[in-house]
Amino acid sequence: MQTMTAKEVEALLNEGKAIDIIDVREVDEVAVGKIPGAINIPLGLIEFRMHELDKTKEYIMVCRSGGRSGSASQFLENYGYKVINMTGGMIAWEGKTEKILT
């Protein structure tokens, strides 16, 4: 499984790179703050929503600490998706966040 640190992901965003981020935390966790532009697909729904993802794109998977996103990465890799797990998760994230308005 490919990995990337939170700092490396932040650097890509700061450089203006177009990256696709999937946050696999639960909705209430994401509501507190997520990486700007990240799409929330809770881990328990990955299997049912993976058809929404494009196998030609590369996705950076994010969760609280890197464990759930690691599981999601392995699962999606088994189905031919290109994924990178962000190690350390949101605990390691020092960049900007956005709150979801409900």
Indicate whether 40 belongs to any domain.
yes
Indicate whether 98 belongs to any domain.
no
Measured CA to CA in angstroms, residue 56 lies from 8, 14, 53 at distances of 22, 23, 9
Question: According to the model, what pLDDT value does residue 99 have?
Answer: 86
Indicate whether 60 belongs to any domain.
yes
Structural domains in the chain (count):
1
Confidence of residue 50 (pLDDT cuts 50, 70, 90): very high
Active-site pick, 6, 38, 61, 63 = 63
Confidence of residue 100 (pLDDT cuts 50, 70, 90): confident
d(CA 60, CA 69): 9
Q: What is the CATH number of the domain that holds 18?
A: 3.40.250.10
DSSP 61-91: EE-SSSHHHHHHHHHHHHTT-EEEEEETHHH
Which domain does 13 fall in, by range? 2-92
Task: Give yes or no: 24 in active site.
Answer: no
Indicate whether 100 belongs to any domain.
no
pLDDT at residue 91 greater than cutoff 90? yes
pTM for this predicted structure? 0.94
Task: Tell me what the mean pLDDT of segment 49-65 comes to.
Answer: 97
